[in-house]
Chains A and B, each alone.
Chain A
Amino acid sequence: MALLEIRDLRVDFRVGGETVHALRGVDLDVPERSRTAVVGESGSGKTVTAMTAMRLLPRNAPVRSGTVRFEGADLLALREREMRALRGARMGMVFQNALAALNPVYPVGRQIADVCRRRTGAGAREAWQRAVDLLAATGVPDAPSRARNYPHEYSGGMAQRAMIAMALISRPVLLIADEPTSGLDVTIQQQVLDLIAGVVSDLSATLLLITHDIGLVPRVCDRIVVMYAGSVMEAGTAAEVLSRPANPYTALLIACFAEGDGGEMPAIPGRVPDLRSEWRGCSFAPRCPRAGAVCHATRPAPREVAPDHVSACHFS
């Protein structure tokens, strides 16, 4: 069984009297010790999926149906107290805007030490030393003095290293990283990705990487799940899906990231559907060059197109 197993997950957001159907029956497996990427564009539901797994959805977003199992336990049935014991301990997380995730009025080292004291019951002196060690281990230069700096004195890349340090305190078995390199300079992105891959490997942990950038996937991950408009379009090993995409959406998305010069830049015509509405057919049908009548009428069920390679497309 997979470490994290999501089945038929449906989540709605209630916004100003309207309902946004963010997840429309998501099935997703994160096998133990895999590095799984969930890739999708705005509105695909990739972040909502991760937030549901952490049980961090806002109050206006009830889970309509579905199950989320982590190490076999049904997370959606846990009490908040039990969930809190898992979150940050068995499951670590790293978010996009690290500078915003840190408290601006305390030194970075102190924030890491505080988490360390709470998680491990360490004393003040010991926790501080651990914070400095973790900062050094995540590549913050001159850690003993940088630990005393405030978040505004950190660059985005350094702040992300500090967040990773914080996530490592209790040696999580699952690290969820939601767009950890978005907003960082490209030369820094690679360093942060290397760091994440390194710590996951050191801890023998599992990685769930949420990203809009399919180009990052082969650098870090061995598995990929492609989402569009609240459902999973395709899933499998990264090598297989990226070199032999079975779903037209995946194929078109990969083309958008490919390099080229001269001529037209690849793009997918149209726009993502309005998530307030519901439809019977495939979510991608209105933009899909291969769509036929069946695509507009019936939602394609995910089907195995090759061993360990699933695609939700009538024509895969």
Chain B
Amino acid sequence: MTAAAPLLRVEGATKRFALRRTGLRRRETIALDGVDLAVAPGETVGIVGESGSGKSTLGRAIVRLIRLDAGRIVFEGREVQDLDDAVFRPLRARLQMVFQNPLASFNPAMTIGDALFDAMRLVDGLTTAEKHERAAALLADVQLDARFAALYPYEVSGGQLQRAALGRALAPGPKLVFLDEPTSALDMSIRGQVVNLLLRLQRQSGVAFLFVSHDLRVIRYCAHRVVVLYLGEVVETAPKAKLFAAPRHPYTDALLASTRLGGGERRLALHGEATAEVPEASCRLAPRCPHALPRCRSERQVLREVAPGHLVRCWRAEELAASRALTAPAFPTFHEERTMT
């Protein structure tokens, strides 16, 4: 995947938000701190992280809803942040998005068919008849039958509406769709319906996805590569198979353990909560990390390559992997006796 020229390249993305003042000191929080990212044509990059990781800020910057303080966002070879709206508009057709709550992202006064039709405003040179025809084809693509065109958003289920949202995003023929927690509002039994649809549409059209989710199960099915964010920094990035089979960063490992059915192994639980108030010269995870040593608190960690395409921000990555402290346990059984503390 890395061989192709990237469709989207993010370099050194940095964004600070001002918090309240305490006395004369202005307090700031770093939402993004030098994040690099690339998405190749036809690729799905999964971004995972918890609240405060910066994943939403990153997504909003990419679709130009906010401006970075520093860093570049290059889409199809052009820095998009400096473009006039008029120049950016044609690019918008090729860079689409789908949000978490489908009901909030549809105009309640428009039928689903009208919403699909409307999304083709961005495409030049289509006649009204062609747009209608295309809207019908899109509904079929997202596996909704033709009667859905006449329905209003409140008349359909969350899963169906999210599929319609996907159809709308694909209407102008995008090269990249930014998906912000597209399955989080859906019941577990229907998340798979949306994920399988994404996989199928990608096979058909070669569209690339940038997929933000805190649900690692979903990421595992659809991402080619995964980027793990913690407090505004990339802590690990690797091809999906490597990341899930052998996570090298303690944070990634804790994330994987906490979503595993049955709880997996408990010994790697993180302490406390994410706090942005970590000294400049410390690893940001150090206050919570079960493997932290004094060196972690006195040395800012750098992202370094530990295997081809596998980058980790932890100086103990090899050591921890070698001691098998970070290896994934086998699928748990439900028979084992659990002891509670």
Please provide the chain A residues from 214 to 240 with a CB less than 8 Å away from any CB of chain B in the complex. Answer: 214-215, 218-220, 238-239
**How many residues belonging to A are interface residues under a CB distance threshold of 8 Å?**
47
Q: When the two chains form their complex, are residues A187 and B50 in contact, meaning their CB atoms are under 8 A apart? A: yes
Q: When the two chains form their complex, are residues B195 and A265 in contact, meaning their CB atoms are under 8 A apart? A: yes
Q: When the two chains form their complex, are residues B50 and A186 in contact, meaning their CB atoms are under 8 A apart? A: yes
The answer, yes or no, to whether B47 is at the interface (CB within 8 Å) is no
Cβ-closest chain B residue relative to A187:
B270
How far is it, in angstroms, between the C-alpha of A157 and the C-alpha of B190 when the chains are bound? 28
How far is it, in angstroms, between the C-alpha of A188 and the C-alpha of B258 when the chains are bound? 9
- Chain B 182-202 interface mask (CB, 8 Å, partner A; 1/0): 000001111111011001000
Q: Which chain A positions have C-beta within 8 A of B272? A: 141
How far is it, in angstroms, between the C-alpha of A258 and the C-alpha of B258 when the chains are bound? 13
Please provide the chain A residues from 185 to 225 with a CB less than 8 Å away from any CB of chain B in the complex. Answer: 185-191, 194, 197-198, 201, 212-215, 218-220
Q: When the two chains form their complex, are residues B255 and A267 in contact, meaning their CB atoms are under 8 A apart? A: no
The answer to whether A253 and B269 touch (CB under 8 A), given A197-B340, A198-B340, A261-B221, is no
Q: When the two chains form their complex, are residues A185 and B214 in contact, meaning their CB atoms are under 8 A apart? A: yes
Partner of A260, one of B191, B221, B340, B341: B221
Q: When the two chains form their complex, are residues B335 and A215 in contact, meaning their CB atoms are under 8 A apart? A: no
The answer to whether A185 and B274 touch (CB under 8 A), given A191-B269, A243-B333, A261-B220, is yes
Most central of A41, A185, A256 by chain B CB within 10 Å: A185
Q: When the two chains form their complex, are residues A215 and B262 in contact, meaning their CB atoms are under 8 A apart? A: yes
- Chain A 239-263 interface mask (CB, 8 Å, partner B; 1/0): 1001100000000110011111111
Q: Which chain B positions have C-beta within 8 A of A260? A: 220-221
The answer to whether A198 and B341 touch (CB under 8 A), given A258-B261, A264-B192, A265-B221, is yes
Please provide the chain B residues from 47 to 79 with a CB less than 8 Å away from any CB of chain A in the complex. Answer: 50-51
Please provide the chain B residues from 220 to 251 with a CB less than 8 Å away from any CB of chain A in the complex. Answer: 220-222, 240-241, 244
How far is it, in angstroms, between the C-alpha of A187 and the C-alpha of B258 when the chains are bound? 6
Q: Please give the distance in Å from B78's CB to the nearest CB on chain A.
A: 34
The answer, yes or no, to whether B279 is at the interface (CB within 8 Å) is no
**How many residues belonging to B are interface residues under a CB distance threshold of 8 Å?**
48
Q: Which chain A positions have C-beta within 8 A of B199? A: 264
Partner of A190, one of B218, B241, B258, B333: B258
Interface of A is mostly: helix
Q: When the two chains form their complex, are residues A218 and B338 in contact, meaning their CB atoms are under 8 A apart? A: yes
How far is it, in angstroms, between the C-alpha of A265 and the C-alpha of B288 when the chains are bound? 33
Q: When the two chains form their complex, are residues B190 and A265 in contact, meaning their CB atoms are under 8 A apart? A: no
How far is it, in angstroms, between the C-alpha of A188 and the C-alpha of B50 when the chains are bound? 10
Cβ-closest chain B residue relative to A35:
B340
Please provide the chain A residues from 134 to 149 with a CB less than 8 Å away from any CB of chain B in the complex. Answer: 141
The answer, yes or no, to whether B309 is at the interface (CB within 8 Å) is no
How far is it, in angstroms, between the C-alpha of A194 and the C-alpha of B266 when the chains are bound? 11
The answer to whether A271 and B157 touch (CB under 8 A), given A157-B273, A215-B259, is yes
The answer to whether A239 and B258 touch (CB under 8 A), given A185-B214, A212-B188, is no
* Interface positions of A (Cβ within 8 A of B): 41-42, 141, 155-158, 185-191, 194, 197-198, 201, 212-215, 218-220, 238-239, 242-243, 252-253, 256-269, 271-272
Can you name 7 A-B residue pairings with CB atoms under 8 Å? A187-B270, A194-B340, A257-B188, A260-B221, A265-B195, A268-B190, A271-B157
Listed from nearest, the 5 A-B pairs whose CB atoms lie closest are A267-B192, A185-B50, A265-B192, A268-B189, A41-B187
* Interface positions of B (Cβ within 8 A of A): 50-51, 157-160, 187-193, 195-196, 199, 214, 217-218, 220-222, 240-241, 244, 254-255, 258-263, 266, 269-270, 272-274, 288, 331-335, 338, 340-341
